[in-house]
Amino acid sequence: MQCDGSELAFRDNGMKNFARRALFTIGAFVSLAVLSFLGIDALPGDGCTALLGRFGTEAKIAECRVEHQLNDPVIVRLGSWASDVVQGDLGYSIKRDEQVAQIILPRIRNTAMLALVAAIMAFPTAIAAGLLIGRFPRSRIGKAINTMGVVAMTLPEFVIATVLWLVFSIWIPIFPGVTVVPSNATFMELLPHIWMPALTLASVVFAHSMRTMKAGVTTIQAMPFVESARLRGTKERVTLLRHILPAALPPVVNTIAVDAAWLLTGTFVTEAIFNYRGLGRLTIDAISDRDTAVILPIVLFSLGAYLTMSLIADTVVRLLDPRLRQHRS
Amino acid sequence: MLAACGRATTVTGVLRVANDAGFGGAETMDPYDGNRTWPTINMVFDRLIGVDKDFSPIPELALSWTSNEELNEWTLVLREGVLFHDGSEFNADDVVYSINRMIDPEFDSPVRAVLGVIESVEAIDNYTVKLSLSTGEADLPSLLADYRALMTPVDSQETIGRAPIGTGPFRMETFDPEGTTVLVANENYFFGKPELSKIEIITFADSQSAAQALAGDQVDLLLAIDGKSSSIFGDTSKYTLQTIPSGDWNAIDFRVDRKPFDDARVRKALRIAADRQVIADTVLGVGGGVPACDTPVWTADPYRWDGPCAKDTEGAKALLAEAGFPDGIDIDIYTSDVEVHMVELVEAYQQQVKDAGIRVTIKMADASGFWDDVWMKESAFVDSWGQRPAAQVLNEVYRSTAAWNPTGQVDKALDAMLDDARSTKDLAQRKQKYIAVQQHIFENSGIFLPYHKTLTRVMSSKVQGIDPIVIDAVRWERISVS
C-alpha cells in the first residue's frame, strides 16, 4: 500500500494492487476448490455409500454410482462440476436428493444473521471498553470488564453456552434454550432464537478486539501528538475521540476482520449446542456424507468470507490512516 | 406456528417430539426405504396387524387372519370403510401394492429381510387377501407387525417420500426432516379421533441440545436418552421417566471361516470367559441392560431362552488348551465409534477375558467406513442390531444363507432346526424348538452377544397416554397433553 509522490502514481499503483489482488483471489478459489475436490475424493466412501448406509449391497451401490456418474475419473467430475458452477448451477446432493442451492442458501442466511448479531454485540462494545480501559487503567470497572473478557475468551464455547443457557433459559427464562424453528423460518420467527448463540459467540471474540484496542490506546497516549493536543488545551473528550481513537483503531480493525470471518465460518460448536440451523451443522453432516456438491460451496464461502473481510479491513484502515490517503484529492 | 416460537407454551393438544438426525437429511417417509424416518411413519400409516402391550398380534387394518395346515398360506380379512388421508378408500389392491413393494427384489427394501418369506400376494375380493409363503411360518402375524410393514396407497411410490398419504391417526402438513415436521390429526381415524390436534417432530443433531429443549419446555418428549444422564430429569412433578426393556443388542462377531475362530472350542471359550452382567453394567450403566446368553431373542419375546451362561474362566482355559492354545491366545478386535457403546463394549470385554488368557488388542477403525470396510470383513469386530421378533432375527442373522450373517457360519443343522420351528403350529411345541435353537447357538455360534439394551424415555408430566413399552406399540391417537 505504499505510494510515491503523484496522484497518478497512486492510482496506477492502486489499479495494479487491485489487479494483483483479484488474480490472487481467483487463484485461491480455484486451487482450494481443486484441493477440496481431490481431498474429499481420497476419503473412503462416497455419496452412494453414504446414501445407502450400512445395508447398501454391492449391486445397489454400483447401480447408484452409475446413476450419479461417480465412476468417471475425478478430473472429469471436477470439470463437469466446475462448468455447472460457472453457469450458476451449484449441483445436486445425492444424499439429500435436493438441489444444493436450496440446501445451503437458507443456512448461509441463518449463519450470516447470527454473525451479524454477534458482531453488533461484540465489536462496538469492545472498542468502547478498550478505549476506556486504556484511558483509565486504574478504574475498577475497567479491570472487572478486562478480567471477564479474558475469562470468556479462554473458556470453551460449550462452557459459556451452558452457563448462558442455565442463567437465561432456566433460572430467568427470558430466551428459548435451543432453536426449534425450521431452517427456512422467516427472520421474525428466527429472531428470538438468535440471542443466546449470538451472545456466546460475542463473548468469545469480545476480548480480542478489546485488548488490542486497550494496547493501542496505551501506546498512543504516550505519543507526543497526544501530549501536544492536551497542552493546547483540547478537551479530554475531544482528545480521546478525535485523536486517540482513530490512531488506535487500525490494528483493531484487522483483529475484527479475522474475528468476523470466524463468526461466519467457525461456529460449529455453538450452532450444535443451540441446535441453530446454520452452516456449521450442515458442514459436519456433508463431510461425513462425502457430499462433495455441498462441501465445495461451503469451503468457497469460507474462503470468500476471509478474503472479503481482509479486503474490507484494508479499505477501512486506508480511510482511517491519513498517511495512507494523503494523496487523495 | 405458536408452539414453534419456543417460549413456554400453554397450547394444549400439541405434542412436540424431539427426534435425532439419524440419516442426516436423507430421511424419507417411504416406510420401505432404508432411510425411512421413524417414528413419524407410524403416525401417518397403519400396519395390517399391530402389537398389544404384551407383544401379541392385534388387528389394525386387518380384522382377522387364518392359515392353512402347512402355515404357508395365510388369508387376511380387511377392515371396511377405512379412508386414506386424500379421501380414497383403503382396500385389497392397496395391500397387494404395498406388500409387492416390500418384497420386490429389485427395490430390495430392508422389510424384505422380515417378510421375504412371502412369495406372492393376491386380492380375493375387495376386502380379502391371500399371502403365499415359501415356507411355513407360524409367526407371520408378528412379522407383519413390523413397524415398517405399513400400508400405502396404490401407485404412491413416486410421491410418498415427501408427500405421504396414509390411513393413520395423523396426516402430513409439513415434511422437514432437518427442521420441524408438522402433522395434524386425522379426524376420521378408524380407531377414533386423536386426542391431540397436532404433533410437531423437531430435529436435534445433538442429544444434549434435545435434553436442553426438554428442560426449557421447548419439547415434550425425548424418545431415548442416555441412561447415565437421566438424573437431570429426576423431578417427578415435572417429568415422567420410563425405562423400557428393548430388543436392541451389541455383539462381538468372530468369523468362523478364519483361524482360530473356525474351532468351535475357541469360539465357546471366547464367549464363556466374560461376565455378561458386569459388561452390561460397565457399558450401559447399572440398569441399562439385561444380560443375554448369546441369544438375539429379547426378554419380552415369548421364545426367549435365559441361560445359564455364568462366567467360566477355568472352562474357557480348558477349552483353549484342548484346541491347542495352552498358553492363551492373542486376538485383534475391530471397533469404532460409529455408534454408541461399541468402543466401551470391546474395552469391557478385554478386561473380562484376560484372566482366561485371552489377550485382546483393540483396533480402532474410522467410523465413516465401518459398515462398508470392517463389518463382516475383518476376523473379529463389534456389531449392533435393532429389535426384531425371534423368527426374524434368528433367520436374518444366523441362517447360513442370510445376506447379513456376519460370521459367515454355515450350519445346516441350525437351518433345519429353524425351518422346523417356524413351521410348527402348536405354540408350546414351537417354543421348545426355538429354545433348542438358542441353546444350539450358545454352543456353536461365533457371535458373543452379552446384553439387550434397556431404553430410557423421558417426557414432560403434561403428556399422558404413553405406556412404558417400545415405541412400535404406542398408540399415537390416545396420547394427550394437558
Nearest one of B228, B273, B276 to B249, comparing CA atoms: B276
Nearest one of A205, A203, A190 to A277, comparing CA atoms: A190
DSSP assigned state of A48? H
Calpha distance A42→A65 (Å, rounded)? 16
Query: What SS3 class is residue B134?
Result: coil
Cβ distance B372 to A275 less than 8 Å, yes or no, reads: no
Calpha distance A172→B340 (Å, rounded)? 34
pLDDT digits (tens, 9 = 90+) for A261-292: 999 988 888 998 898 888 987 888 788 777 88
User: For chain B, what's the residue count?
Assistant: 482
pLDDT digits (tens, 9 = 90+) for A86-102: 888 888 888 888 889 98
Q: How confident is the model at residue A118 (pLDDT cuts 50, 70, 90)?
A: very high
Calpha distance B378→B364 (Å, rounded)? 12
Nearest one of A248, A292, A270 to A81, comparing CA atoms: A292
pLDDT, residue B2, reads 39
pLDDT, residue A325, reads 62
Among chain A residues, CA nearest to B384: A54
Which residues in A lie closer than 8 A to residue B202 (C-beta atoms)? 180
Answer whether residue A54 shows pLDDT above 60: yes
Cβ distance B369 to A44 less than 8 Å, yes or no, reads: yes
Q: Report yes or no: A110 and A190 within 8 Å, Cβ to Cβ.
A: yes
Query: What SS3 class is residue B359?
Result: strand
> How much of chain B is helix, strand and coil, in % rounded to 5?
30, 25, 45
Calpha distance B93→B189 (Å, rounded)? 20
Cβ distance A170 to B21 less than 8 Å, yes or no, reads: no
Q: Please check whether residue B337 touches A, CB under 8 A.
A: no
Give pTM, 2 decimals: 0.82
Answer whether residue A4 shows pLDDT above 60: no
Displacement of CA A299 from its chain's centroid (Å): 12
Among chain A residues, CA nearest to B175: A182
Query: What SS3 class is residue A259?
Result: helix
Q: Give the CA dihedral B163, B180, A68, A56, nearest 10 degrees.
A: -90
Q: Give the end-to-end CA distance of chain A in Å, rounded to a whole number.
A: 17
Residue B20: exposure state from Cβ atoms within 10 A (0-12, 13-18, ≥19): middle
Q: Report yes or no: A217 and A134 within 8 Å, Cβ to Cβ.
A: yes
Beta strands in A178-316 (DSSP E): none
Among chain B residues, CA nearest to A283: B24
Calpha distance B291→B261 (Å, rounded)? 23
Looking at the DSSP bridge assignments, the partners of residue B120 are B132
Q: Report yes or no: B215 and A170 within 8 Å, Cβ to Cβ.
A: yes
Give the number of C-alpha atoms closer than 13 A to the C-alpha of residue B141, restricted to the C-beta side. 22
| Helix (H), strand (E) counts: chain B | 12, 19
Among chain A residues, CA nearest to B113: A55
Which residues in A lie closer than 8 A to residue B112 (C-beta atoms)? none
pLDDT, residue B8, reads 41
Query: Minimal Cα–Cα distance from A166 to chain B, Å?
Result: 9
Calpha distance A90→A101 (Å, rounded)? 6
Which residues in A lie closer than 8 A to residue B382 (C-beta atoms)? none
Which residues in A lie closer than 8 A to residue B4 (C-beta atoms)? 180-181, 185, 189
Q: Look up residue A240 and give its amino acid.
A: L
Residue with cell 386426542: B195
C-alpha cell at B173: 402438513
Q: Report yes or no: B166 and B45 within 8 Å, Cβ to Cβ.
A: yes
Spatial CB neighbours of A231, under 8 Å, sequence gap ≥ 6: none
pLDDT, residue A11, reads 52
**Nearest CB to A275: which of B24, B205, B366?**
B205
Which range among A70-74, A324-328, B172-176 shows the weakest confidence by mean pLDDT?
Answer: A324-328
Q: Please check whether residue B26 touches A, CB under 8 A.
A: yes
Low-confidence ranges of chain B (pLDDT < 50): 1-11
**Nearest CB to B216: which of A98, A169, A284?**
A169
Answer whether residue A3 shows pLDDT above 70: no
Q: What angle do CA B225, B231, B235 make, to 5 degrees?
A: 110
Calpha distance A253→A216 (Å, rounded)? 12
Q: How confident is the model at residue A55 (pLDDT cuts 50, 70, 90)?
A: low
Query: Minimal Cα–Cα distance from B6 to chain A, Å?
Result: 6
DSSP assigned state of B28? B
Strands B57-59 vs B62-67: parallel, antiparallel or unpaired: unpaired
Strands B329-335 vs B170-174: parallel, antiparallel or unpaired: unpaired
pLDDT, residue A160, reads 92
Displacement of CA B107 from its chain's centroid (Å): 21
Query: What SS3 class is residue A214?
Result: helix
pLDDT, residue B322, reads 95
Q: Give the end-to-end CA distance of chain B in Å, rounded to a whole number.
A: 19
Calpha distance B105→B116 (Å, rounded)? 9
Residue B323: exposure state from Cβ atoms within 10 A (0-12, 13-18, ≥19): middle
Nearest one of B460, B174, B190, B213 to A275, comparing CA atoms: B213
Cβ distance B368 to A53 less than 8 Å, yes or no, reads: no
**Nearest CB to B368: which of A55, A180, A288?**
A288
Calpha distance B197→B194 (Å, rounded)? 7
Element (H, E) at B180: strand B180-185
Query: Minimal Cα–Cα distance from A204 to chain B, Å?
Result: 20
Cβ distance B180 to A289 less than 8 Å, yes or no, reads: no
pLDDT, residue A130, reads 93
pLDDT digits (tens, 9 = 90+) for A308-320: 888 888 888 888 8
Among chain B residues, CA nearest to A193: B6
What sign for the dihedral angle of Cα A259, A261, A262, A267?
positive
pLDDT digits (tens, 9 = 90+) for A199-210: 999 999 999 999
Which residues in A lie closer than 8 A to residue B213 (C-beta atoms)? 177-178, 180, 275
Q: Please check whether residue B369 touches A, CB under 8 A.
A: yes
SS (H, E, C) B381-400: EEEEECCCCHHHHHHHHHCC
Which residues in B lie closer than 8 A to residue A49 (C-beta atoms)? 369, 372
User: Residue A245: phi, psi to the nearest 5?
Assistant: -55, -55
Calpha distance A130→A139 (Å, rounded)? 12
pLDDT, residue B3, reads 39
